[in-house]
Amino acid sequence: MNIIQPSHRVNAGDEIHISIPEPVTAWPHAEKIPLDVIYEDHDVIVINKPAGMVTHPAPGNLSGTLVNALMAHCHETLSGIGGQLRPGIVHRLDKDTSGLLVAAKNDLSHQGLSKQFAAHGRDGKLIRSYEALAWNVPKRKCHKVDAPLGRARTNRTRQSVLKNGGRNAITHYQVMETFSAHKSDTRIAARLDCRLETGRTHQIRVHMAYSGHPLLGDPLYAKGYETKAEQLSDGARAALQDMNRQALHAGYLSFLHPRYEKRIELKQEIPDDFRLLLDAMRQHR
Give the Å distances, CA to CA, from 4 to 21, 22, 60.
Answer: 17, 21, 21
| Rounded CA separation 246/48 (Å) | 17
Q: Do 136 and 276 share a structural domain?
A: yes
Q: Quick check: 154 pLDDT over 70?
A: yes
pLDDT value of position 265? 98
Q: Do 226 and 108 share a structural domain?
A: no
Q: Do 202 and 249 share a structural domain?
A: yes
Whether 107 is catalytic:
no
Q: How many domains does the chain have?
A: 2
pLDDT value of position 244? 94
Q: Quick check: 15 pLDDT over 90?
A: no
C-alpha 250, offset from chain centre: 8
Q: Do 87 and 211 share a structural domain?
A: no
DSSP, collapsed to helix, strand or coil, labels residue 118 as: helix
Q: Looking at the whole model, is its pTM more than 0.85?
A: yes
The answer to whether residue 245 sits within a structural domain is yes
The answer to whether residue 261 sits within a structural domain is no
How many percent of the chain have pLDDT more than 70? Answer: 93
Q: Do 273 and 159 share a structural domain?
A: yes
Q: Quick check: 185 pLDDT over 60?
A: yes
Please state the length of the chain: 285
pLDDT value of position 79? 85
Could you tell me the residue range of the domain that residue 60 belongs to? 28-119
Residue ranges with strand state E in the chain: 37-40, 44-49, 98-104, 127-135, 142-146, 149-151, 159-161, 170-180, 187-196, 248-256, 263-267
How many percent of the chain have pLDDT more than 90? Answer: 69
Last residue of a domain, one of 69, 93, 119: 119
pLDDT value of position 4? 67
The answer to whether residue 3 sits within a structural domain is no
**Structure confidence at residue 237 as a pLDDT band (50, 70, 90):** very high
Each residue's pLDDT tens digit, 49-61: 999 999 988 777 7
Say which range, 32-46, 84-98, 245-259, has the weakest mean pLDDT: 84-98
N-term to C-term CA, the chain: 61
pLDDT value of position 82? 66
Q: Quick check: 23 pLDDT over 70?
A: no
Helices (H), 133-282: 203-210, 234-243, 272-282
CATH number of the domain that residue 48 is part of: 3.30.2350.10
pLDDT value of position 85? 67
Give the Å distances, CA to CA, from 211 to 32, 145, 204.
Answer: 41, 8, 10
Residue 160's φ and ψ, nearest 5 degrees, are -150, 155
Instruction: Give which of 174, 112, 93, 180 is closest to 138, Cα–Cα.
Output: 174
The answer to whether residue 21 sits within a structural domain is no
Last residue of a domain, one of 103, 119, 135: 119
Last residue of a domain, one of 119, 140, 157: 119
pLDDT value of position 283? 86
Catalytic residue among 36, 41, 43, 94: 94
Q: Do 179 and 108 share a structural domain?
A: no
**Structure confidence at residue 33 as a pLDDT band (50, 70, 90):** very high
The answer to whether residue 87 sits within a structural domain is yes
Q: Do 243 and 143 share a structural domain?
A: yes
